[in-house]
Amino acid sequence: MKYYLLGILALYVTLGHTQEIEKAIKPNYQQAAKFAPHKLRSLIFSTEVTPNWINYSDKFWYEYTTPSGKNWYLVDPSARKKTNLFDNAEMAAKVTSIVRNPFDAQHLSLQNLRFMDNENLIRFEVQSTKDTVKSKEEIQKQTNKRDTVKRKTFHFEYNIISKQLKEISDTTKEKAKPSWASFNPDTTRVYFAKNYNLYWMDYDNYLKASKDEKDSTIVEHQITTDGVPYYAWGGDQYSTTTTDKKSKEEELKKRKGVWLNWSPNGKHFAISRKDNREISDLWVINNVGGKRPTLEPYKYLMPGEKDSTEAELYLFNTDTHQAKQISIAAFKNQTLSLWGQERTKASYKGKHYINYWLGNDQEFYMARSSRDLKKIDVIAVNIDGSTRVLVEERANVYLDIKAPKLVNNGKQFIHWSQRDGWGHFYLYDIQGKLIHQITKGDFHCDELTAYHESTGNLFFKANGREKGIDPYYTFYYSINKNGGAAKLLTPGDFDHQVAVSESGNYIIDNFSRVNTQPATNLYSSSGQLIMKLEEADLSQLFATGYKFPEPFKVKAGDGITDLYGVMYKPFDFDSTKTYPIIEYVYPGPQTEAVNKSFGRGMDRIDRLAQMGFIVISVGNRGGHPSRSKWYHTYGYGNLRDYGLEDKKVVAEQLANKYPYIDINRVGITGHSGGGFMSTAAMLVYPDFFKVAVSGAGNHENNIYNRWWSERHHGVKEEVSAKGDTSFNYQIEKNTELAKNLKGKLLIVTGDIDNNVHPANSIRMVDALIKANKRFDFVLLPGQRHAFGDMTEYFFWKMADYFSEHLLGSSNMNEVDMTEINKDRPLRR
């Protein structure tokens, strides 16, 4: 009997062990490989309508691709009419007969399609396989002068009424305008920068330069003479990426663009200038860019560093080209924001864009901001040099500002402010007197896209007004400047991304969620549905076994604040098994890495889940700006740790709710701010987070750029007894907590990252070594912040790392990354 019971017990143990093996999750490399970015291109086609407004009218055309091919459509909203621009089969036959390359209705490739002034005519190009000789200009621009042959491009003009197609000369194609040209309002003069100074030429000489930049007969007129590197009037590159003397000399001879703000009558222009000569250099070394490793120096202002010079504002009289410096000082190390008018049909003189200043012939409007961004003034600058303050914004945390909207023929303006804790619009008269608040409530107003002068209605985007719906979903509204209730124009429990005609009469609404097929509707400005334009065809994606992710709502660490996230599961998900959970993070505060609409962004979230993980992305207090000012600035003064508690409690809440989540196997990953946050999580909660992959993290924000670090963390302005002003910046760093590491950590950076300098990662590595910690480090040669053509390599390195340390097995012992190699053609 004794041996019988032992046998039964052994059988149960064996069966239990077998069941555990059967329930064990093995990394599914094959499933993840199916959703590589290059494969998604043949699974996901058009997901939104991008309107091309025809000559600034309400009519527009767009192209849309499905598994059946690409189609081009013409829409006349006033007639409620949508038609094909042409019959694809007929067009393919006509193009084939001229180009001599075969096309059919499903494989019609038209490039650079555009409407002419005559709205019955369109032009486009078609690439052929026929060889032709390059022009002298093309050869001159090349390094290899012997490369003289290219594939011929055919140029066509098509009449959409008569359906006549004809080949035209490439000389009739509108050549790209020189990027350096800045036109005055009557287009008689063209302004530009060269050798750090301002120049102008007349229109006839501009035409010469358009044909040949090096034409020796071109007459130029120099305006300023005191421009020098990093204290230029224009054309000064903040980042210098060459130390080669010959290359620098050639660069100085080139004409460069300069941003001038013009008075409507063209008699004045404004420009700002900043002396950056005292800003220290930063360097990266490109080890793989050429025969010799090259040093790339660039100017880089770090938080808390002394800024010895101030931004300057100048007003030029175009009759004499004499400059008048405007006394604009109010704050130490202030920032100046010169606003231009919205780009409309009135912004163009013929084909040339004119950058008019926001204002009238006598004055223009701009903003000046204190270095700590707690003080912002909206001011008016008169052409006589006098200034007046229109609006003062003050707060104990950083402020945001948007350009005002001039209304009532310039007698009033609409100002955006967060003074009551939410982004709202306010009506002022032009003297700066507040008339009233236009929008009110616990929701966030954002971009003001259109205004109807005849009715006084303004049209704007907003978040959080529709109760019971994810507050990050954007909706479109109208309201009268005199107040009243806002009217919803884009209904539906979706995220709505809109494009609006210049007149404001029509709205193209691209809407979806992460778990719905994207669709597009056309509405009138009154909110009337004109027509349903498109619904994306995702049939080929679903044929792969794809399943939508799942939105969720949980509480933050305070037990009060709602947080919104998305859960991604393996497509072969089995609720009887248990899965590790990985958090994909980006702390903001300028945004949150939580998808709200359907898109192609599956590389680091959806695809990672296919390896055998539950992957989530979720917001955190101190994140997205489209909620309350309290929510957005929660992390002010604590830029290292502010979001970490929420990441921890979210995983705990989900594990309590779903038994298939193993709370003892928690991973975390992110890029840039997410790289910084994922490492911080491993050090602040070392017993909770077990594995992290941190990409391009700003682990020491004291050496990250001044704008982001001082803005979101805060900088203390201190005035001495002598009246001298200095700025004190103190922030906690990941490196200070290196001794806390317990789990598995992989740090990755590009070696020429000139955004988040690789020193951030290297200092983290240094601290971990000095703390005698085991960890992993990958340096990606020749890669900047986004990892470029090594992004795919990084993904599989990340997949290996999480699989090995959360699932217990991986392909890390294999030398070849077969998931990449098998999709590449074998070359000898």
Give the model's confidence band at 18: pLDDT under 50 very low, under 70 low, under 90 confident, else very high. Answer: very low
pLDDT value at 153 more than 80: yes
Residue ranges with strand state E in 464-505: 474-480, 483-488, 495-500
**pLDDT number for residue 332:** 95
| φ, ψ dihedrals at 580, nearest 5° | -65, 155
In angstroms, the CA 811 to CA 801 distance is 9
How far out from the chain centre does Cα 647 lie?
24
Closest CA to 747 of 648, 796, 678: 678
In angstroms, the CA 749 to CA 727 distance is 30
What mean pLDDT value characterizes the chain?
92
- Per the CB < 8 A criterion, the answer to whether 646 and 654 are in contact is no
User: What would the mean pLDDT of 308-328 be, rounded to a whole number?
Assistant: 96
User: What would the mean pLDDT of 771-782 be, rounded to a whole number?
Assistant: 98
In angstroms, the CA 557 to CA 323 distance is 56
- Per the CB < 8 A criterion, the answer to whether 663 and 581 are in contact is yes
User: What would the mean pLDDT of 33-47 be, rounded to a whole number?
Assistant: 92
**pLDDT number for residue 15:** 43
Burial environment of residue 101 by CB neighbours within 10 A (0 to 12, 13 to 18, 19 or more):
middle
CA dihedral 420, 625, 694, 288 (to 10 degrees): -120
- Span of 344-348, 393-397, 697-701 with lowest mean pLDDT: 344-348
- Per the CB < 8 A criterion, the answer to whether 356 and 185 are in contact is yes
Token pair recorded at residue 379 = 């001011």
**pLDDT number for residue 11:** 43
Residue ranges with strand state E in 203-351: 221-222, 261-262, 268-273, 281-286, 294-299, 312-317, 322-326, 335-338, 348-349
In angstroms, the CA 54 to CA 116 distance is 9
What angle separates helix 644-657 from helix 673-684, to the nearest 10 degrees?
70
Could you tell me which residues come within 8 angstroms of residue 561 by beta carbon, excluding any fewer than 6 positions away?
555, 621, 631
In angstroms, the CA 503 to CA 766 distance is 58
In angstroms, the CA 372 to CA 713 distance is 10
- Per the CB < 8 A criterion, the answer to whether 140 and 170 are in contact is no
CA atoms in the 13 A half-sphere facing the CB of 346: 8
CA atoms in the 13 A half-sphere facing the CB of 538: 20
Tell me the torsion sign for CA atoms 569, 570, 571, 575. negative
- Per the CB < 8 A criterion, the answer to whether 795 and 819 are in contact is no
**pLDDT number for residue 329:** 95
User: What would the mean pLDDT of 726-735 be, rounded to a whole number?
Assistant: 94
pLDDT > 70 fraction of the chain, expressed in percent and rounded: 93
Burial environment of residue 706 by CB neighbours within 10 A (0 to 12, 13 to 18, 19 or more):
buried
Give the model's confidence band at 604: pLDDT under 50 very low, under 70 low, under 90 confident, else very high. Answer: confident
How far out from the chain centre does Cα 683 lie?
30
**pLDDT number for residue 142:** 66
Token pair recorded at residue 683 = 């050090």
Token pair recorded at residue 700 = 């020491």
pLDDT value at 794 more than 70: yes
User: What would the mean pLDDT of 599-610 be, rounded to a whole number?
Assistant: 82
Residue appearing with tokens 């009110």 = 440
How far out from the chain centre does Cα 805 lie?
33
pLDDT value at 601 more than 90: no
pTM equals 0.93
Residue appearing with tokens 């290219």 = 150
Cα-based distances in Å from 279 to 295, 370, 476, 495, 717: 18, 19, 43, 43, 19
DSSP assignment string, 807-820: IS--STT-SS-HHH
In angstroms, the CA 462 to CA 93 distance is 48
**pLDDT number for residue 821:** 86
Closest CA to 461 of 492, 500, 434: 500
Q: What does the pLDDT look like over 438-496, one tens digit per residue?
A: 999 999 999 999 999 999 999 999 999 999 999 999 999 999 999 899 999 999 999 99
**pLDDT number for residue 251:** 75
pLDDT value at 287 more than 80: yes
CA atoms in the 13 A half-sphere facing the CB of 168: 17
- Per the CB < 8 A criterion, the answer to whether 391 and 627 are in contact is no
**pLDDT number for residue 175:** 72
- Per the CB < 8 A criterion, the answer to whether 532 and 523 are in contact is no
- Per the CB < 8 A criterion, the answer to whether 279 and 286 are in contact is no
Rounded to 5°, angle at Cα 699 from 695 and 700: 150
Could you tell me which residues come within 8 angstroms of residue 108 by beta carbon, excluding any fewer than 6 positions away?
69, 70, 88, 91, 92, 95
Burial environment of residue 764 by CB neighbours within 10 A (0 to 12, 13 to 18, 19 or more):
buried
Token pair recorded at residue 755 = 């955004």
Tell me the torsion sign for CA atoms 316, 321, 327, 332. positive
- Integer Rg of the chain from CA: 30
Provide the residue count of the chain.
828
Residue ranges with strand state E in 241-362: 261-262, 268-273, 281-286, 294-299, 312-317, 322-326, 335-338, 348-349, 352-353
- Per the CB < 8 A criterion, the answer to whether 234 and 256 are in contact is yes
In angstroms, the CA 595 to CA 513 distance is 8
**pLDDT number for residue 825:** 66
For the chain, domains (ranges, CATH) are 23-42+541-716+741-813 (3.40.50.1820), 52-172 (no CATH), 180-370+385-397 (no CATH), 404-537 (2.120.10.30)
Task: Report the 10 Å Cβ neighbour count for 279.
Answer: 21
Element (H, E) at 442: none
Closest CA to 193 of 251, 252, 236, 235: 235
In angstroms, the CA 818 to CA 828 distance is 18
Task: Report the 10 Å Cβ neighbour count for 814.
Answer: 9
Rounded to 5°, angle at Cα 294 from 288 and 296: 115
- Per the CB < 8 A criterion, the answer to whether 801 and 691 are in contact is yes
Closest CA to 336 of 369, 364, 306: 369
The overall longest dimension of the chain from CA atoms, in Å, is 114
Terminal alpha carbon distance of the chain:
71
pLDDT value at 3 more than 80: no
Q: What does the pLDDT look like over 483-529, one tens digit per residue?
A: 899 999 999 999 999 999 999 999 999 999 999 999 999 999 999 99
In angstroms, the CA 583 to CA 645 distance is 13
- Per the CB < 8 A criterion, the answer to whether 66 and 538 are in contact is no
**pLDDT number for residue 234:** 83
pLDDT value at 428 more than 80: yes
In angstroms, the CA 333 to CA 328 distance is 12
| φ, ψ dihedrals at 366, nearest 5° | -155, 180
